[in-house]
Amino acid sequence: MPNAVTVRVGLYNPSRTGPDVGYHADPDGEAPMREQLALLASLELDLVGIVQVPCAPDDLDCGPRVADRLEMAWHAVIPSPFYDHGIAVLARTGGNLEVVAEHHQTGKPWAHCLAAIDVRVKGRRLPLRFLVGHAATSPTARLTEAEHLATHLESTADTPDIVYAADFRAAALGESPDTSRASADHAAAITDTRPAAVLHRAGLLDVGEATSDHAPTIGHDPADPVAYRRHRIHSTLPASAVTGHGIVDEDRPLSRHRPVWAQFTLDVDDDPGDPRASRL
């Protein structure tokens, strides 16, 4: 595609079960974390969201160390208001990308938080807004989060194109996972696709669905055996801009959550001008 810029985005929840439960602030001293970061680095991503990043006092240097390992020049760790972890968002700046604004939300309705950055893409007039979320455990709270985002999109005329990567804690719209090994409450929570329907009506394309990639991102760990597309990337960009998508299917999974990535190829403007940012 002539006069275009390619942007690769990814999402990962490195949470582990069994004897490797937990995180360590020093990736250099903990083999599983080193392997996880090497896996992410191999995807050659431009924008990355990592959920459930530790935010306890002993973990304050985790963000810079992760950014260094991934060779990302820009990063932020946004803490959850209720838990001892948060969301890390990283950007490979200095080439085609520049972070021009931050709009993180750490209050209601977000049970964890919502990371939000505006990224100027070289040659494009408006920035790309990259959102990273970690949905609430409660289905009702998840629905409220989705409705809040949808209301913003519908009421704000100058919102930039959005890429929203999140651990949604529920199946994708139209997905029917086998919940026979789950409790009744867990099965009901997993199959509650009302939030996904809200995002769809608001114009957020499910990139996995658009590329016919229905591989599950969870379900390979005995502790969480229901297989479904819990981690997804949605976008207001047109389907024609999507030029790749994948779920990393490791031979030896490093987490009970598989990484997901998407690639977008964006046309550049003849006269990009100055980027503008609107409030989320």
Delimit the domains of the chain by residue range. 4-267
Cα–Cα distance measured from residue 179 to residue 172, given in angstroms and rounded to the nearest whole number:
14
Does residue 16 sit in helix, strand or coil? coil
pLDDT for the residue numbered 253: 84
Structure token pair of residue 20: 């490797």
Cα–Cα distance measured from residue 270 to residue 206, given in angstroms and rounded to the nearest whole number:
29
Amino acid letter for position 189: A
Q: Please, which residues have CB within 8 angstroms of residue 17's CB and are 6 or more apart in sequence?
A: 221, 223, 224, 256
- Kindly report, residue by residue over 217-274, the tens digit of the pLDDT: 999 988 889 999 999 999 999 999 999 999 998 878 888 899 999 999 999 875 555 5
- Kindly report, residue by residue over 103-126, the tens digit of the pLDDT: 999 989 998 999 999 999 999 988
Q: What topology is assigned to 4-267 in CATH? A: Deoxyribonuclease I; Chain A (3.60.10)
Within 13 Å of residue 243, how many CA atoms lie on the same side as its CB? Answer: 12
